């Protein structure tokens, strides 16, 4: 074969190896997704515990169900902007809850409300009374290096919240987690649509893995046909001698 033909064969081999590696990576991502789904399903199926009973390890408390009771502080509630529901823009409403016997408040995600620009909305019609009681799953708050994406036009609106953001906007300590309400927490008729847990599906990893392995086979089969075709055109050195 000529040098160009050797180069094409080498390129096919490299492409096949690369596609195989990407396929294996997607399979590993699929196994990780399945393990994560199983863990989330297990924690959501466990009976709820109080804040005091939650583990301090954030990786262990994630998606653990929590029961709480206290009083809403609507004056210091914040919103997470650009949250969609069924294709519509809106915000998630996070309201602090003062609990008896504690000077630390619990931040509760009461649910989603429509906002045309994904930022601004009047939340006063969506107050569920002063008494707060309910069950939800816990999501720990972090301190991402990217900082806090705070709205310049609305002081209590954030793209995401972390501990530093809360310290800057709420004048009392809060627990380093958010409890996302499930179901109806009060008998009020003005209940926000609750934010559901993450979907426990397998995502696109399996289909991506199949695609990469298919590309690998195409590269290998194409290389074999190419080599056979090149060799069929080469003269036999033992003929006409």
Give the residue ranges of the chain where pLDDT is below 70.
Answer: 1-3, 5, 143-153, 184-189, 230-231, 233-241
* pLDDT at residue number 225: 82
Are residue 137 and residue 79 in the same domain, yes or no?
Answer: yes
C-beta of residue 156 within 8 angstroms of C-beta of residue 78:
yes
Are residue 157 and residue 219 in the same domain, yes or no?
Answer: no
C-beta of residue 83 within 8 angstroms of C-beta of residue 91:
yes
Distance CA 34, CA 41 (A): 10
Range of the domain at 26: 3-39+202-233
Are residue 22 and residue 78 in the same domain, yes or no?
Answer: no
- Residue partners of 99: CB distance under 8 A and separation at least 6: 51, 68, 69, 70, 105, 106
* pLDDT at residue number 72: 94
Residue showing tokens 């939650």: 54
Are residue 155 and residue 214 in the same domain, yes or no?
Answer: no
Total domains in the fold of the chain: 2
Are residue 68 and residue 30 in the same domain, yes or no?
Answer: no
Give the tens place of pLDDT for each residue, 169-226: 888 998 989 999 987 544 455 788 898 888 899 989 999 999 999 999 998 888 888 7
In a domain, 228, yes or no: yes
Are residue 139 and residue 73 in the same domain, yes or no?
Answer: yes
Helices (H), ranges, the chain? 3-45, 58-61, 163-169, 205-233
Q: Which of 192, 177, 155 is nearest to 77 (CA)?
A: 155
Q: Interhelix angle for 205-233 vs 3-45, to 10°? A: 170
Are residue 176 and residue 209 in the same domain, yes or no?
Answer: no
Are residue 7 and residue 84 in the same domain, yes or no?
Answer: no
Beta carbons within 10 angstroms of residue 121's beta carbon: 20
Are residue 81 and residue 169 in the same domain, yes or no?
Answer: yes
pTM for the whole thing? 0.78
């Amino acid at each position: 074969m000529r040098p160009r033909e050797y180069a094409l064969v080498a390129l096919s081999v490299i492409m096949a190896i690369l596609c195989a590696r990407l396929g294996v990576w997607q399979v590993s991502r699929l196994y990780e997704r399945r393990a994560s789904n199983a863990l989330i399903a297990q924690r959501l199926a466990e009976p709820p515990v109080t804040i005091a009973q939650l583990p301090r390890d954030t990786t262990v408390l994630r998606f653990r169900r929590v029961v709480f009771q206290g009083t809403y502080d609507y004056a210091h509630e914040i919103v997470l902007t650009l949250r969609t529901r069924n294709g519509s823009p809106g915000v998630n409403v996070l309201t602090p809850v003062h609990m008896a016997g504690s000077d630390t408040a619990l931040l509760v995600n009461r649910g989603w409300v429509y906002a045309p620009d994904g930022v601004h909305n009047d939340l006063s019609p969506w107050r569920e009374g002063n008494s707060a009681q309910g069950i939800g799953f816990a999501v720990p708050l972090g301190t991402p290096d990217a900082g806090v994406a705070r709205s310049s036009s609305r002081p209590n609106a954030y793209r995401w919240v972390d501990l530093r953001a809360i310290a800057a906007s709420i004048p009392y300590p809060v627990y380093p987690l958010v409890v996302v309400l499930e179901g109806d927490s009060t008998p009020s008729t003005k209940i926000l649509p609750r934010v559901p847990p993450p979907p426990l599906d397998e995502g696109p990893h399996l289909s991506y893995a199949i695609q990469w392995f298919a590309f690998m086979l195409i590269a290998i089969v194409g290389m074999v046909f190419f080599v056979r075709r090149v060799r069929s055109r080469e003269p036999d050195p033992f003929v006409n001698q």
